[in-house]
Amino acid sequence: MDILSYKCPNCSGTLKFDSQIGQMLCEYCDSTFDPEVLKKYDEVLQEEASKDPDWDTYESDEWQDPNLGVHLCNSCGAEIVAEETTAATFCPYCDSATILSGRLSGALKPDLVIPFKIEKEQAKAELKKFCSGKRLLPSLFLANNRIEKITGVYVPFWLFDCEAEANITYDAKKVRTWKQGNYRYTETSHFLIHRAGKIGFERIPVDGSEKMDDAYMEALEPYNYEEAVDFATAYLSGYLADKYDVDAESSKPRANQRIKDSTEKKFAETVSGYAVVTPRSTAIDLTDGKIRYALLPVWMLNTKFGGKTYTFAMNGQTGKFIGELPISKGKYWGYVAGITAVLSTVGLLTVFL
């Protein structure tokens, strides 16, 4: 059964009908109201009362991205969404290091790992040093703790060992000139040079991650592979780590090219004393090939500035640093104007002197 009651418009006290005066009486403030007026007043209040929003019911189709996986943090139990290639990461809620061990099991387990030797604070200091003294660097680039975002990443690499047996023939020229009387003579001698031999290659690295720019990764070389150790998950704790998404078979053409380029360069260095040397024919056979899977340490900073993404990378073992810095257009044109003004002044002084 609904209970109907009226509230006093003045003090919100309960109103009762006083049969003596034929009015609604408030027992708290002694106000009196005509019953018909109160009824109209109550109807207005109900019309003005807020109504529940009329929302459509949200319906969603079940969705699953095969490139993503959900994992539980061992420290706080939060769900962590990670890409299929992520092997180690951080919990975004408690910042605990999390190793997704299933991503490294079986055939995916690395053979070797080079542990980080450069600590994060040292990497940040090197990045600051890299940026310091750059006159055209925008002032805002280093603001907002941008350098704090530098992240240690174990990048997957394939290491190739092999023997390269090469037979290379060169056309070479020697040129001799001399003057006799009123004539200058030129004598060109032509030579056919052949070189043959073997070169052993160990641990030629090829980046096994599509996300990493190959040019950047090769610029960070060399690594000291004497410090590589057998893989253990403990080395991943505190860093990000990816498993390969470019397999060994797909990496062979890049390894072959690097080995052939190095072989041709080494052989060419043995042909000296000629004015011109041109390879005529090259035959290089690779034998005794062996492939190993390794994780190499890299400090990475990807940051957007002025609508463009800038990438900086540091060899986590040797500290070698590479990257492209943004240029302030204002500072650039100011610098050009300054140089132009100096040149103009020098020109005027020259005229007057």
pLDDT tens-digit profile of 114-136?
Answer: 999 998 888 888 888 887 777 77
Question: 174: Cβ–Cβ under 8 A, 6 or more apart, which residues?
Answer: 188, 189, 191, 273, 274, 275
If you compute the radius of gyration of the chain from its CA atoms, what whole number of angstroms results?
39
CB 128 within 8 A of CB 309: no
Q: Residue 294 has what pLDDT?
A: 93
Q: List CB contacts of 95: < 8 A, sequence separation 6 or more.
A: none
Q: Is 129 left (phi over 0), alpha (psi -120 to 50) or beta?
A: alpha
Cβ–Cβ < 8 Å for 317, 227 = yes
The Cα 82–Cα 88 span in angstroms is 9
3-state secondary structure of 165: strand
What is residue 79's predicted lDDT score, i.e. its pLDDT? 62
Question: Is residue 170 within 8 Å of 305, Cβ to Cβ?
Answer: no
| pLDDT of 40 | 76
Distance CA 151, CA 120 (A): 8
Cα–Cα distance measured from residue 254 to residue 179, given in angstroms and rounded to the nearest whole number = 51
Q: β-strands 183-207, 151-180: how paired?
A: antiparallel
What's residue 255's pLDDT?
A: 92
The number of beta carbons lying within 10 Å of the beta carbon of residue 60 is 5
Chain position carrying tokens 């990816």:
242
Cα–chain center distance at 247: 20
Q: Which of 332, 335, 343, 328 is nearest to 142 (CA)?
A: 328
Do 224 and 181 contact (CB within 8 A), yes or no? no
- 8 is written with which tokens? 């006093």
Q: Dihedral (C-alpha) 299, 303, 309, 312: value to the nearest 10 degrees?
A: -30
> Structure tokens of 259?
């080995």
- CB within 8 A of 226, min separation 6: which ones? none
20: which residues sit within 8 A by CB, 6+ positions away?
none
**6 to 26, 36, 164: CA distances (angstroms):** 10, 12, 100
pLDDT tens track of the chain, all 353 residues?
A: 444 566 777 787 777 767 667 778 887 888 888 877 777 777 777 766 656 656 555 454 554 556 556 666 666 665 665 666 676 676 655 556 666 666 666 557 889 999 999 988 888 888 888 877 777 788 777 665 667 778 888 888 999 999 999 999 999 999 999 999 999 999 999 999 999 999 999 999 999 988 788 888 889 999 999 999 998 878 887 788 877 888 899 999 999 999 999 999 999 999 999 999 999 999 999 998 899 999 999 998 877 777 777 888 899 999 998 888 887 766 666 666 666 666 665 555 554 44
Instruction: Identify the sign of the CA torsion 6, 7, 8, 10.
Output: negative
Q: Which tokens is 6 given?
A: 């009226």
Which DSSP category does 147 fall into?
A: G
Predicted pLDDT of residue 345: 57
The number of CA neighbours under 13 Å toward the Cβ of 59 is 2
Residue 201: how many other CB atoms lie within 10 Å? 18
pTM: 0.66
Two structure tokens written together for 33: 């109201």
